[in-house]
Structure 1
Amino acid sequence: MAIRTASGGERLLVSLLLAYIAFTTLWPLAELFATGFQPGDDGAFLGLFTETLASRATARALGGSLYTSGLSVAISVILGASLAFAISLLKLRTQGALTFLILMPLIVPSQTMALAWIELFGANSPILNLIGMAPAPGTTNPLYSAGGIALVMGAEHMPLVFMATRVALRSLPADLVEAARILGIPGRRIATGIILPVVMPSVLAGSLVAFSAAIGNFGVPALLGIPGRVSVLTTLIYQRLNGFGQSAAGQVAVLALLLTFIAVLSLMLRGFVMRKIAVPMPSGKPFEPTRRSAPVEIILWIIVLVIAVAPLAALTMTALLPAIGVSFGLETVSLTQFTTALGNATILRAFFNSIGLSLFTAIIGVLVAIPFAYLSVRRPGPLVKAMDILVEAPWIIPGTVVALGMILAFLQPLPIVGVSLYGTMAILTVAYLARFLPLVLRPVTAAASTIDPALDEAGRIAGAGLTHRLTQIFLPNLLPAAIGGAIVVMMTAQNELTLSALLWSSGHETIGVMIFALQYEGNSTQAAAVAVTSTAVVFALAGSGTLLSRRLPPGSLPWRT
């Protein structure tokens, strides 16, 4: 927007939003860059950056991150692309149920999925013990390894590849496939010579998104890598800050910048793939599958049950055991761990903290997203576009980096007020507001772009002020999208761990932190009970969103895409 041609109300709105973004995003990121690029002990330019990158610990963590992330992407591509092809090219009776289960890892928090896989493959696995395939007692869990990290992250990020591939397959024109059939081209050659080349750019784009998610993942490497002595960048940052505190701020800032560079580079490559390599599809009737295959559908169910259902079933069964090491059976099933967890003042406080944080973040996100969407759609300009890029930054870059920026910005007392946010609920709140705003802003902006601009102009001509136009014209049309975005924010923030692991303090625990702490202390049954309870809350939110999905714009809920 060209500010000089805007009304006074719009100029004020831009100023308020700019101040909001500067406080929650720009300042922390600026502090991070300033700390990471400071001179070394000898005063050399970029000395700290050079020293940190040259250290053996950094090289080991970087190698671990690239190896586990790369291997996890290979798993995600194999699973996600195969499932997308089967779901999209075959007429399946249970397509809806299969699609929901395939997308379930998007709904279940990262640390909960990691904990679920730990319980599935451990020596006390209630499922493997039932079929006599559990590892011997005292055996180290096989997931405590680089391969285990890659397996769990690969299953967790598989939906990202699945969605990208399925969107491409669903946009495939029916005429293209029909013409190939008329020409007598065999089905196998149609698949490999026509469909696969068209879809491959989307598969590659989805794999790059999965890589970016894997490189910034903290929950899985923390629960599997720390016990298995597998170092990655996210856990090295966590361990350095926990072990050395503020004295390690410069080194961890460099690690965070390295992590950011890798994640942003992968997303930039995705953008290049979609712009330069993707094959434009002619408009026409979408391809509709007609072929059925009962054996393939059975195989799909087996794969999906192993990936999505078995780990959560193992987690739930573990939570129903009265103590570690007790075999699962009808005579041993108990709600002891649930009653103990909910009777624990610290755990209960963590639930209230997480619910309050997620609800507050969702509400503020909606209040910020609606006027922001108005400016983006009705008064676009260089400043608004720059703000839009800044808003996306905390979601694009890894959460560990965002948390470190918050520490560097808010460790010292704030100017004028003289109060430090570090060690308070306020720093968690600011971090959540920065991290999760894009989840509301995307669907709201998409919905705003569909509103007839003549309505706003008519209101302006009639003398309606900016506040009246926002509340009476924009808000009613954007409310469904805002509600959908708010639900996604609450689901995501409810069990957040990456930010909270670095920012929590005594009295300000969150559910993600409690699950991590209980598992780290060896209390796996109670950790399972807390994880199952928090996951039930997430599924309840997902259910409420699904019930509202008919009134929400397409894309508001990721599992309904």
Structure 2
Amino acid sequence: MADIAAAMPGERRPVPAFRLGPETLVLGILALFVATISLAPLGRLALTAIAPEGVLDLERAWSVLARPRVFTAAMNSLYVALASTLFAVVLGSIAALLTVHSNMRFKAAWVFGFVLPLLIPPQVTALAWVQAFSPSSPVLGFFGLALTPGTRHPLYSAGGIIFLLGIYNAPLVFLTMRAALRRLPANLSEAARASGAGNFQLIFTILLPLARSGLYAGAAIAFVSAIGNFGIQAMLGIPARFPTLITLIYQQLNSYGPASLSDMASLSLLLSLMTVLALGLSGWLGGRGDVRVEEGGRAVEINLGRGRPLVEAGAWLYLAATLLLPVSALVATSLVRGFGQELGWETLTLTNYANALLYHASVRDAFTTSLVLTVSAVVLLSAISLVLAYFISWRKSLFVRLIQLAAELSYVLPGLILGVAMILFFLRPLPLLGFSIYGTVWIILAAYLANFLALALRPMLGGFAQIDRSMEDAARVAGAGFFQRMRDIILPMLAPAVIAGGIIVFMSALNEIQVSILLVSSSARTIGPMIIFLEEGGSSTLAAAVGCLMILIVLVLMCTASLFAGRLPKGALPWRD
């Protein structure tokens, strides 16, 4: 009777209690994770900059930013970032036009070589170029072009920093421009051809104007990368006494320690504002005017005609100059007993490699620490990004979008800023635990998770965009729970994307320096900053050996990933079509 009465019209059924389902619980954990490793440290950074004593104090922040050396460093940062971005835009645009629209041969191999410098740690790139122009350079010495001993090194200057940053960031512009050019329909170019347009007229009146969104996006990414590139600015700028904001933060923190954190927070906030303004300007420029076109169709081919051999020779000569010259000098330096010796049978030795791998305790420990941290980051981020990509792709909401933006923020900002934020947030003992992770490997792992989450997400999102959701829906209807669907349906279909994301994160984290340079300690060192420590300590040959090992690891990983390229989502590997 009670059941019948409960069901009678006019009677209210009891409202069921709120149930916290697995999906809601997992999404809450993801939000808490991203907030802890990204939003909270960056928020603490901003708060320390404007309220160092807990009370709003803009006057103190202004007193730090108004110092003459800070103004000089800020202007230098803007100068090298803008000039190198312009250089990178020219190089990257030419490379994109050649590989998308020309009939140049062996494009895949050339793209592999063009993108390679982007995946080599910037401190290794700088070290290789420094040794390439040294008096003992094997290549320049062979042609009689080596500098005489005592000559000022040409790369220890603002021009040297601009040159290397431009070469290093050109692949970033290339990747965005190549994607934009491939989306252009062929009918517009064919109509221009029918109207009598030549190659240059076609490029400057059709292709580049329509692909300007990719151009502005590439320029913004190159600018952000350049202004926050610690490896090149430190290796070249510190010896040249050419201060930039990022080297000023590093030197100040090394000189004064945690006592200078409030000042470093103000400098980091200034660097962050420059980065955000550059991204905002790029978005505004890219959105001006309506250049929408229908996508699809093959790219129009620009026939190089009789000039093709000359263009191809120039393209391969560029790779020889930007890859073989510095790498050969690095290898030669790693194979001699003392810096400055010419490579020969009498001076040839593998001692530097033996020391790096077996006998030099600090280098060996740095390799071990980096490997453990990198593998840990890959495992954790693979699982986290797979689940987060599921919500972003198939459970879209404003809350999920905010989590994604928070994850991307830590990747967009210069790594050194994230390092300062991590120090500020984790310097004090953790609540409930009563101890601090500052000066341990755990703070480096937290920084890796924050910095590379967005990087791990990209292949996952591409993978979700290419698979059918019907199987997951069928499993849900059949009663499969969230974790069962993720294990039996999603993970098998997304396995290639998981592998691609893991490889990219592994390559980025193993040799990373931008974030960890401020977080390493005597008991927790990684291999990325070791290059700078060895070079500053006068162990140039050992530094060269470590740099060669880093390049070898990158090449092995790139080749391994290329073997599985056919099973990976399109665009997962930046050096593959």
TM-score normalised by the chain length of structure 2? 0.93
CA distance in 1, matches of 2:482, 2:403: 20
Q: Secondary structure at the match of 1:421?
A: coil
Distance 1:121 1:6, change over 3 A: farther
Larger Rg belongs to: 2
Equivalent of 1:10, from 23, 27, 35?
A: 23
1:418 partnered with 2:434: yes
- My pick for the range that moved more, 540-549 or 396-405, is 540-549
Q: Provide the residue aligned with 1:508 in structure 2.
A: 524
Distance 1:500 1:469, change over 3 A: same
Distance 1:196 1:388, change over 3 A: closer
Q: CA RMSD in A?
A: 1.9
Equivalent of 1:252, from 256, 264, 269?
A: 264
Matches within 5 A, 1:458-537: 458-537=474-553
Equivalent of 1:304, from 312, 316, 319?
A: 319
CA distance in 2, matches of 1:21, 1:215: 25
CA distance in 2, matches of 1:453, 1:102: 37
Q: Provide the residue aligned with 1:334 in structure 2.
A: 349
Q: Secondary structure at the match of 1:323?
A: coil
Equivalent of 1:149, from 158, 161, 164?
A: 161
How far is the alpha carbon of 1:167 from its aligned partner? 2.2
Equivalent of 1:432, from 424, 437, 448?
A: 448
CA distance in 2, matches of 1:464, 1:251: 54
- Residue identity in the other structure for 1:228: A
CA contact (8 A) 1:201 1:278 kept: no
Q: Secondary structure at the match of 1:404?
A: helix
Distance 1:322 1:278, change over 3 A: farther
CA contact (8 A) 1:88 1:170 kept: yes
1:274 partnered with 2:277: no
Q: Provide the residue aligned with 2:47 in structure 1.
A: 34
Distance 1:511 1:278, change over 3 A: farther
CA distance in 1, matches of 2:139, 2:18: 67
CA distance in 1, matches of 2:551, 2:290: 37
How far is the alpha carbon of 1:391 from its aligned partner? 0.8
Q: Provide the residue aligned with 1:117 in structure 2.
A: 129
Q: Provide the residue aligned with 2:378 in structure 1.
A: 362
Equivalent of 1:295, from 272, 288, 310?
A: 310
1:386 partnered with 2:402: yes
Q: Secondary structure at the match of 1:91?
A: coil
CA distance in 2, matches of 1:27, 1:118: 39
Q: Provide the residue aligned with 2:117 in structure 1.
A: 105
Please list the CA deviations of residues 3-61 of structure 1 after superposition, one character each: whole Å capped at 9, or x if unmatched: x99861112112211221122112211210110111689x8731222111111121011
1:48 partnered with 2:74: no
Q: Secondary structure at the match of 1:554?
A: coil
CA contact (8 A) 1:61 1:232 kept: yes
CA contact (8 A) 1:33 1:253 kept: yes
Structure 1 residue runs of 5 or longer lacking an equivalent are none
Please list the CA deviations of residues 298-351 of structure 1 after superposition, one character each: whole Å capped at 9, or x if unmatched: 111111211233211211111112211211234433212111222212111111
TM-score normalised by the chain length of structure 1? 0.95
How far is the alpha carbon of 1:268 from its aligned partner? 2.2
CA distance in 1, matches of 2:396, 2:296: 32
Please list the CA deviations of residues 125-157 of structure 1 after superposition, one character each: whole Å capped at 9, or x if unmatched: 222122211111122311111111111111000
Distance 1:249 1:473, change over 3 A: same
CA distance in 2, matches of 1:461, 1:223: 59
Q: Secondary structure at the match of 1:558?
A: coil
CA distance in 2, matches of 1:395, 1:208: 14
CA distance in 2, matches of 1:187, 1:290: 7
Matches within 5 A, 1:15-414: 15-38=28-51, 45-277=57-289, 279-289=291-301, 291-292=303-304, 293-342=308-357, 343-414=359-430
Please list the CA deviations of residues 205-241 of structure 1 after superposition, one character each: whole Å capped at 9, or x if unmatched: 2112101110111000111001110111111111111
How far is the alpha carbon of 1:557 from its aligned partner? 1.5
How far is the alpha carbon of 1:266 from its aligned partner? 1.5
Q: Percent identity?
A: 38
CA contact (8 A) 1:48 1:250 kept: no
How far is the alpha carbon of 1:534 from its aligned partner? 1.7
The alignment covers a number of residue pairs equal to 557
Q: Secondary structure at the match of 2:180?
A: helix
- Residue identity in the other structure for 1:511: I
CA contact (8 A) 1:123 1:141 kept: no
CA contact (8 A) 2:212 2:286 kept: no
CA contact (8 A) 2:185 2:298 kept: yes
CA distance in 1, matches of 2:344, 2:92: 35
Structure 2 residue runs of 5 or longer lacking an equivalent are 1-16
- My pick for the range that moved more, 447-456 or 459-468, is 447-456
CA distance in 1, matches of 2:232, 2:160: 9
CA distance in 1, matches of 2:211, 2:478: 50
- My pick for the range that moved more, 508-517 or 440-449, is 440-449
CA contact (8 A) 2:108 2:576 kept: no
Q: Secondary structure at the match of 1:92?
A: coil
How far is the alpha carbon of 1:165 from its aligned partner? 2.1
